[in-house]
Chains A and B, each alone.
Chain A
Amino acid sequence: MNTEAKQIIANIRQQLVEVSNKNKVPHLACSLSSVEILYTLYFHIMNIRPEQPDWADRDRFLLGKGHAAAVLYSVLGFRGYFAPEQVMTLGQNGSAFEEHPGKNPPPGVENISGSLGHALGLATGMAKAAKIAGSNAHFYALVGDGELNEGTNWEAAMFAPANGLDNLTVVVDFNKLQGTGRSCEIMQLENMEDKWKAFGWNTSRVDGHNVDALHEVLKADNIVAGKPRAIVADTIKGAGVSFMEDDNNWHYRIPTVEEVDAVAKELGLV
Chain B
Amino acid sequence: MRNKFAQCLTEIAAEQQDVCLLYADIGNRLFDKLKDVAPERTINAGIAEANMATMASGMATMGLRPFIYTITPFTTARNFEQIKIDLAYADVPVVIVGTGSGLSYANLGPTHHSFEDIALMRILPNMQVVCPADSLELEALMPQMLTVEHPTYLRIGKKNEPLNYDSVPNIKLGKAHVLQEGQRVLLLCCGTALQIGGKLHAQLQEQGISTELTSMHTVKPLDEDYLQKMADYDLVVTLEEHSLIGGFGSAINDWIVDVYEQPVNLLRCGIPDKFIDQLHDPDSARKRIGLTAEDILPKILQRLSKK
Contact = CB atoms under 8 A, between A and B. Distances in A.
* B43, B46, B62, B64: residue with the most chain A Cβ atoms closer than 10 Å: B62
A192 B64 CA distance: 33
B67 to A, nearest CB: 13
Interface residues of B, number: 26
Interface stretch (B86-94, B128-136, B194-202, B229-237): B86-94
A129 B85 contact: no
Q: Dominant SS at the A interface?
A: helix
Interface stretch (A150-158, A197-205, A219-227): A150-158
* B43, B46, B59, B63: residue with the most chain A Cβ atoms closer than 10 Å: B59
Contacts of B7: none
A159 B55 contact: yes
Contact of A118 (B46, B48, B85): B85
A217 interface: no
A122 B41 CA distance: 17
Given A132-B40, A159-B51, A125 B58 contact: yes
A130 B55 contact: no
Contact of A125 (B40, B54, B91): B54
A123 interface: yes
Give the size range of A's interface with the partner.
20 to 34
A150 to B, nearest CB: 9
B54 A152 contact: yes
B86 A122 contact: yes
A159 B45 contact: yes
A90 to B, nearest CB: 20
B213 interface: no
A155 B48 CA distance: 6
A156 B63 CA distance: 20
Contacts of B51: 121, 124, 152, 155-156, 159
B82 interface: yes
Interface in A6-21: none
Given A126-B61, A132-B41, A152-B82, A112 B90 contact: yes
Contacts of B48: 152, 155, 158-159
B56 A125 contact: yes
B291 interface: no
Contact of A122 (B57, B63, B89): B57
A115 interface: yes
A118 B86 CA distance: 8
A103 B91 contact: yes
13 contacts: A103-B90, A112-B90, A114-B85, A115-B81, A118-B85, A121-B50, A125-B62, A126-B62, A129-B63, A132-B41, A133-B63, A152-B50, A156-B55
Given A128-B55, A129-B58, A159-B45, 17 more contacts: A103-B91, A112-B85, A118-B54, A118-B85, A122-B57, A122-B58, A122-B86, A123-B58, A124-B51, A125-B54, A125-B55, A125-B56, A132-B20, A152-B51, A155-B46, A158-B46, A162-B46
